[in-house]
């Protein structure tokens, strides 16, 4: 959106309506010793083309510039966004619409959310989806709290292979409560080790991520059998790359009770880490324990189709002690972008794009392995995988960065036992030539 500043005439008219003599009068309620006295040290004004050139110059200094080849995912993924999604999203009906606090007169917004919910349930193989959460991390935390409400137990288990930042958000959610979070270890193949599950006592829920933080695809069907051995324990499947379900069996098809995760890959720019989109879906029998809002479809007394706010169990709508969450808003514009993306791509397009991501990642993995840099894990992966490099690779990584190649994420700060490992990612935005160039630089 273009920035159109107010003219002096505009400002004077607004001041006149407010009954203020000048702009300083608007701040008269602020104590004098709390107000800035000197002028701000701002640079001289630039023309529009000078400003564009200046911003392009600043952007070129960052690793996220278009000239960089980024082999890093770790929860935020670079994907092409169809132009139809970009253009439709700029329409004022979508761009300026906000939370439907008066739902009966927000039919367009409600229909959009309804379509979003429908597409999410199809993607994840679940019965119902809510009108979105803040992001994948908050979605996981809310899912685990939901398992506690349903089972009335006080302990949950989370895989150590779940995204480290997701686990930190869960810890923050649970810190002021009486509930306990225990971690499940990672096996040698990069998947979650569930062998000790029965020794943890009564669990409200167990959360795995697939593909997990290492890119490894969990055996969800086998996990379901272990977890549901206790019929009151709910199985939560998290994800940070929903595109994987264009190829993999959906969480619902594998027996998950709740599926939640990040939807940024579907038509939402990375934008330096935000905003994101928290996808959240569950089995029908759990619908009344779900956080957030659900939109339903009905007919009015004249037989015309209408959309309604069917469930709204947030503290903004009902008494706080009865609320399922304090999530205060759905990510409306991000959910709309994901809806447009999924509709534009269709099932066939998502499947083909998923295969392309997987194939290019496998090409890089096999090329690095052939050069003597294998993955420490044997489990199958999607578009992300771990590579073990020799000592000194940090210097190589920095040298590659100077050549505008971001060669993955160092795992040491998150997993000290993997201090010699790096998490690599390949999406459709990287070509075979880009991959070959990275391998050539690494094996020098």
Task: Write down the pLDDT at residue 1.
Answer: 47
Q: Quick one: 77 and 90 in the same domain?
A: no
Task: Write down the pLDDT at residue 106.
Answer: 77
Res 100 pLDDT > 80: no
Q: Quick one: 277 and 363 in the same domain?
A: no
Radius of gyration of the chain (CA): 25
Predicted TM-score of the model (pTM):
0.86
Q: Quick one: 323 and 415 in the same domain?
A: no
Q: What is the pLDDT of residues 131-172, one digit of tens each?
A: 888 899 999 999 999 999 999 999 999 999 999 999 999 999
**395: in domain:** yes
Q: What is the pLDDT of residues 213-237, one digit of tens each?
A: 999 999 999 999 999 999 999 999 9
Q: Quick one: 148 and 296 in the same domain?
A: yes
Q: Quick one: 361 and 303 in the same domain?
A: no
**33: in domain:** no
What's the average model confidence in pLDDT over 206-211? 98
Q: Quick one: 139 and 269 in the same domain?
A: yes
Q: How confident is the model at residue 31 (pLDDT cuts 50, 70, 90)?
A: very high
Last residue of a domain, one of 276, 311, 342: 342
Q: What is the pLDDT of residues 5-23, one digit of tens each?
A: 889 999 999 999 999 999 8
Task: Write down the pLDDT at residue 292.
Answer: 82
Q: Quick one: 192 and 326 in the same domain?
A: yes
**363: in domain:** yes
**12: in domain:** no
Structure tokens at 56: 């392009």
**30: in domain:** no
**43: in domain:** no
The CATH number linked to 435 is 3.90.1150.10
Q: Quick one: 290 and 381 in the same domain?
A: no
Res 204 pLDDT > 80: yes
Dihedral, 123, 218, 212, 338 alpha carbons, nearest 10: 0
* Domain, as residue range, for 385: 69-81+348-442
Last residue of a domain, one of 294, 321, 342: 342
How far apart CA 162 and CA 166 sit, in angstroms, is 7
Task: Write down the pLDDT at residue 239.
Answer: 98
Q: How confident is the model at residue 272 (pLDDT cuts 50, 70, 90)?
A: confident
Task: Write down the pLDDT at residue 181.
Answer: 97
Q: What is the pLDDT of residues 313-331, one digit of tens each?
A: 655 555 666 666 666 666 7
Last residue of a domain, one of 342, 362, 391: 342
Residue % of the chain over a pLDDT of 90? 73
Across the beta sheet with 234-239, the strand order is 128-129, 278-282, 258-262, 234-239, 205-209, 155-159, 180-184
**60: in domain:** no
Q: Quick one: 187 and 295 in the same domain?
A: yes
Query: How many structural domains compose the chain?
Result: 2
The CATH number linked to 320 is 3.40.640.10
Q: Quick one: 243 and 330 in the same domain?
A: yes
Q: Quick one: 75 and 108 in the same domain?
A: no
Of 100 and 334, the one with more pLDDT:
334
Q: Quick one: 329 and 235 in the same domain?
A: yes
**22: in domain:** no
């Amino acid at each position: 959106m273009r920035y159109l500043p107010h003219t002096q005439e505009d400002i004077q008219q607004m001041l006149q309506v407010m009954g203020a003599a000048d702009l300083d009068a608007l701040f008269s309620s602020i104590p004098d010793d709390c107000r800035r006295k000197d002028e701000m040290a701002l640079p001289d004004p630039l023309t529009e083309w000078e400003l564009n050139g200046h911003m392009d110059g600043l952007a070129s200094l960052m690793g996220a510039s278009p000239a960089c080849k980024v082999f890093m995912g770790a929860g935020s993924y670079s994907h092409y966004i169809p132009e139809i999604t970009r253009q439709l999203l700029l329409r004022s009906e979508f761009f300026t619409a906000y939370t439907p606090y008066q739902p009966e007169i927000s039919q367009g917004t409600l229909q959009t959310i309804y379509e979003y919910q429908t597409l999410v349930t199809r993607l994840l193989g679940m019965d119902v989806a809510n009108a979105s959460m803040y992001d994948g991390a908050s979605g996981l935390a809310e899912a685990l709290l939901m398992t506690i409400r349903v089972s009335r137990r006080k302990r949950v288990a989370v895989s150590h292979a779940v995204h480290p930042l997701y686990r930190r958000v869960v810890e923050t959610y649970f810190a002021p409560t009486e509930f306990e979070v225990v971690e499940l270890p990672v096996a040698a193949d990069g998947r979650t080790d569930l062998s000790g599950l029965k020794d943890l006592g009564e669990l409200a829920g167990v959360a795995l991520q697939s593909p997990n933080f290492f890119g490894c695809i969990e055996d969800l069907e086998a996990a379901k059998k272990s977890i549901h051995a206790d019929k009151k324990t709910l199985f939560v499947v998290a994800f940070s790359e929903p595109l994987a379900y264009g190829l993999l069996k959906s969480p619902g098809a594998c027996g998950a009770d709740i599926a939640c995760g990040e939807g940024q890959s579907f038509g939402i720019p990375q934008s330096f880490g935000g905003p994101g989109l928290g996808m959240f879906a569950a089995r029908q029998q759990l619908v009344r324990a779900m956080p957030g809002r659900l939109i339903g479809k009905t007919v009015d007394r004249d037989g015309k189709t209408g959309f309604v706010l069917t469930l709204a169990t947030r503290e903004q709508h009902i008494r706080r002690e009865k609320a399922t969450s304090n999530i205060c808003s759905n990510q409306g514009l991000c959910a709309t972008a994901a809806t447009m993306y999924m509709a534009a791509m269709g099932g066939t397009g998502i499947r083909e794009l998923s295969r392309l991501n997987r194939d290019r990642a496998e090409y890089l993995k096999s090329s690095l392995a052939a050069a003597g840099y294998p993955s420490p894990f044997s489990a199958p992966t999607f578009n992300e995988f771990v590579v073990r490099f020799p000592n000194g690779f940090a210097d190589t990584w920095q040298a590659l960065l100077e050549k505008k190649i971001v060669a993955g994420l160092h795992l040491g700060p998150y997993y000290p036992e993997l201090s010699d490992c790096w998490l690599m990612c390949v999406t459709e935005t990287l070509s075979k030539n880009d991959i070959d160039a990275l391998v050539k630089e690494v094996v020098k």
